[in-house]
Structure 1
Amino acid sequence: MVTYLPISSPFIRFAGRYVDDAFGVAAGWNFFVFEAAMVPFEITACNMIITYWTDKIPIAAIIVIVLALYILLNLFAVQWYGESEFWLALGKVLLSTGLIIFTFIVMLGGNPLGDRFGFRYWNNPGSFAEFYKTGDPGRFLGFLACLIQASFTIAGPDYVSMAAGETINPRGVLPKAYNGSLCVGILVPHDDPNLATAFKKGLPGAAASPYVIAMDRLNIPILPHIVNAMVLLAAFSAGNSYVYCASRSLYGLALDGKAPRLLAKCTKNGVPIYCIAVVFLIALLAFLQVSNSASVVLEWFVNLVTASQLINFSVITFTYTRFRKALIAQGIPRESLPYISRGQPYVAYVALTCTTIMAFVGGYTVFLNGNWDIPTFLFSYTMIGVFPIIFVGWKFYHKTTFRKPEDIDVTTGVEEIEEYHRNYVPAKPSNMFSKFGDQVFG
């Protein structure tokens, strides 16, 4: 959809354009909650990472310092936002690349112990660990728990699409951008005592990281501290990005009349000050860790974000099915699209079914015997209840209609995009790095 009509915040606006205005409003608010909830999540993560070195710094002090830095970067120094994010993002790339290289080297015996362990832990103790129960039910619950955690990390394509309206040559660039990577941890067995203890006791920072535990197992010094420092930078950078994205998402809703108009007010520098204030009010939830374990609070935010993110993907897949039906109803051949994904519409229906189911089972542990916990339940299922309330409330108040395939607008804006691409002349690479990037990524 976004390669056909690259616009800003596409999946939110497409939800209103291809399905129902009320559906777009609910999708927009759900995405805002997702973005805003990630801010206290990253602040909590920063605290856990810092306490890897010392627990002498008061939790409240760490929260205040991080919030102050976010305010500085997003309110008073927004012109430095892009520059700061560039360098912080570079650190993430170096961290990811370094850990992949580290894994490859040590698994082949490049470690102080000379242990060429390879894929040993895939066979012993194996892949499936028991969780809550024993036997096959326990292994299934363990797999389900991993699947829920994986659902938290699936963000990516939606972020790429958010910038579609500001991308140079979007129909050429965006199809290449929708690629992912999967790095499988092979360094530590799932029954490692240190790993089990770290998760059970909620040990801070990189203590629960398979990489750090692997470094300790292999008697590798210094590297754990380097990894922890880079993880801290990554968490801080992510939180800074979420402040920016959440405030702009709310600002967009206000401009479209889907949020109070007061939130559309900006400073003379164009900063949506009231939107940022709302995001920072939500960020104060990070203070929950003052009276609770940081690992517990982190899990609460993971539950909230996971549910919201799965709803987001359900919205995207359902919107696509309506878009496809509109193309068929209006006689627009699918072959005319600039990018055609395989297996449609079946892949979309499978994705819609899976993401919807996972949204409902995300907090399943609270329904197990002796595991009922009100905060966990609320963080896991709040957005599942809020989304339909927003949809139904907006629909009845504004009397919106569910769009029929033949009435869906799939043409407005397309001619301008096609004219742009007809006249687009790609710029020649200005240096060797640009040439290398073009050759590698197309």
Structure 2
Amino acid sequence: MAEMVTYLPISSPFIRLAGRYVDEAFGFACGWNFFVFEAALVPFEIVACNVILHYWKGSEIVPAGGIIAIIICLYGLINVLAVQWYGEVEFWAALGKVLLIVALLIFTVVVMCGGNPTGDRFGFRYWNDPGAFAELYHTGDLGKFLGFLQCLIQASFTIAGPDYVSMAAGEAENPRVVMPRAFNAVFYRLTTFFMLGSLAVGILVPYTDEEMKVAFSTGAPGAAASPYVIAMNRLNIRVLPDIVNAMVLTAAFSAGNSYVYCASRSLYGMALEGKAPKVFTRVTSKGVPLYAVLVVLGISLLSFLQVSNDAAVVLQWFVNLVTASQLINFASMCVTYLRFYYGMKAQGFKRDDLPYKAMLQPYAGWYGLVGTFIMTFVGGYTVFLPGRWDIPTFLFSYTMIAVCPILYLGYKFVQKTKLYRSDEIDLVKNVDEIEEYQRTYVPSPPKNAFDRALDWLFG
């Protein structure tokens, strides 16, 4: 993704480049899949916010439907009337998320070394007792493998990153310099945080912890099911659980707001290219695609499913839908990159001349394609186990797998598009404009020490 986007930094690149490097019908299917992925995350975050709010005693007097309605209204107001503050709000919210994970990692190191009210220096105790691998559905090695597979499926839900960075390519200042740094920062920092976070969770709580089992089985509200909060409770640490819950609530609300913005802009972008109804191109005086925002808010009404269903169940439905769409999204990006790679090779372009050259290509691209393709079908495998058939889980896990080919073939049939050969791929359109911009660009130096610190922190 970084290699393609830094070569041609345009808005919504992985959607538009899919149409340019593979097939316009492929770009159409990718665009709608990404929209569904983004839009489905909005009700997920709304339900999450509602669950988090009910962590505090007394919050149960406000019905779930009321909280959901308030959050949807707030998203509407922010995205229609206060959109000019979107970037500023999201910046500080992102900074808060970074501070939260750093604080939790520091907390882990301190308490494992005995810095807790009980004085227990538990270190890596839980790596030996009960051990690293939990059994799931079966005993023995098969059960341990299924446990690992379930973790892999859940991890697939969290792999977003490069696609969000690329969305800003068309509006970034000096993109061929800034975007490689941004991609590297996202990859290394997210990888580091995910790995250290997983390590911290394994240190703090054993998978046999009774409080955690009860929290997950009953759909405990807020951060009550968080391994960090469970560890804090076990170690008799007060106040911190409330702080963690408050920061998680802020992060969830911010994420939902961000998804409303991204989903509506994706729909707006597709409408501009004729791949969505023209009505979605209409904007307000402030440039807000009003009808696109309203559609996303309409989809967010799915969060009211929580009113008649268990919150944990509803959250898992959305996790299944989003995971499938996200894996399809990444598989599509891999296909697009491979067409870009082989197109450059067929047309005599040298990758050494690119602003950014990815490692291990094309092997990494093929690895990503095969891996995400397999995981897309594995995601809902539990419904095929004896006695575990569940229609909602099946539909949320596999609907997009059926919808995407239908979108592709339908658009291809109607528009009579063609699958480009490697020597037919357009690798030069808009490139001259980008190179002219780079030649004439004059960088603006940081205005003060704070700006320099932000440049260093965020790459």
TM-score normalised by structure 2 residue count: 0.94
The one of 79, 83, 86 equivalent to 2:88 is 83
Alpha-carbon offset, residue 264 of structure 1: 1.3
Map residues 143-182 of structure 1 onto 2, 5 A cutoff: 143-178=148-183, 179=187, 180=190, 181=192, 182=194
Map residues 161-310 of structure 1 onto 2, 5 A cutoff: 161-178=166-183, 179=187, 180=190, 181=192, 182=194, 183-184=197-198, 185=201, 186-310=203-327
**Which amino acid in the other structure matches residue 321 of structure 2?**
L
Alpha-carbon offset, residue 254 of structure 1: 0.8
Q: Secondary structure at the match of 2:61?
A: coil
CA distance in 1, matches of 2:210, 2:292: 46
- For 1:36, the equivalent position in structure 2 comes to 39
Shifted more, 111-120 versus 128-137: the winner is 111-120
- For 2:22, the equivalent position in structure 1 comes to 19
> Are 2:54 and 1:51 equivalent residues in the alignment?
yes
- For 1:398, the equivalent position in structure 2 comes to 415
Percent of aligned positions with the same letter in both sequences?
A: 66
> Are 2:144 and 1:127 equivalent residues in the alignment?
no
> Are 2:115 and 1:98 equivalent residues in the alignment?
no
Q: CA 1:340–1:414 in structure 2 vs 1: closer, same or farther (change >3 Å)?
A: same
CA RMSD of aligned residues (A): 1.4
The runs of 4+ residues in structure 1 deviating greater than 6 Å are none
CA distance in 1, matches of 2:417, 2:91: 42
- For 2:434, the equivalent position in structure 1 comes to 417
* Aligned length in residues: 442
CA distance in 2, matches of 1:187, 1:169: 43
Q: Secondary structure at the match of 1:22?
A: helix
- For 1:355, the equivalent position in structure 2 comes to 372
Alpha-carbon offset, residue 438 of structure 1: 4.5
Shifted more, 105-114 versus 307-316: the winner is 105-114
CA distance in 2, matches of 1:69, 1:90: 21
> Are 2:411 and 1:408 equivalent residues in the alignment?
no
**Which amino acid in the other structure matches residue 313 of structure 1?**
F
CA distance in 2, matches of 1:280, 1:420: 37
CA distance in 2, matches of 1:426, 1:334: 26
CA distance in 1, matches of 2:120, 2:292: 54
The one of 358, 374, 388 equivalent to 1:341 is 358
Alpha-carbon offset, residue 370 of structure 1: 0.6
Shifted more, 105-114 versus 430-439: the winner is 430-439
CA distance in 2, matches of 1:59, 1:438: 41
CA distance in 2, matches of 1:163, 1:315: 19
Alpha-carbon offset, residue 441 of structure 1: 6.0
Alpha-carbon offset, residue 422 of structure 1: 2.6
CA distance in 2, matches of 1:22, 1:220: 56
Q: CA 1:434–1:49 in structure 2 vs 1: closer, same or farther (change >3 Å)?
A: same
Q: Secondary structure at the match of 1:343?
A: coil
CA distance in 1, matches of 2:166, 2:88: 22
> Are 2:24 and 1:7 equivalent residues in the alignment?
no
- Cα deviation, 1:283-306, whole Å, max 9, x if unaligned, reads 000000100000000000000000
Alpha-carbon offset, residue 161 of structure 1: 0.7
Q: CA 1:437–1:283 in structure 2 vs 1: closer, same or farther (change >3 Å)?
A: closer
Structure 1: runs of 5 or more not aligned: none
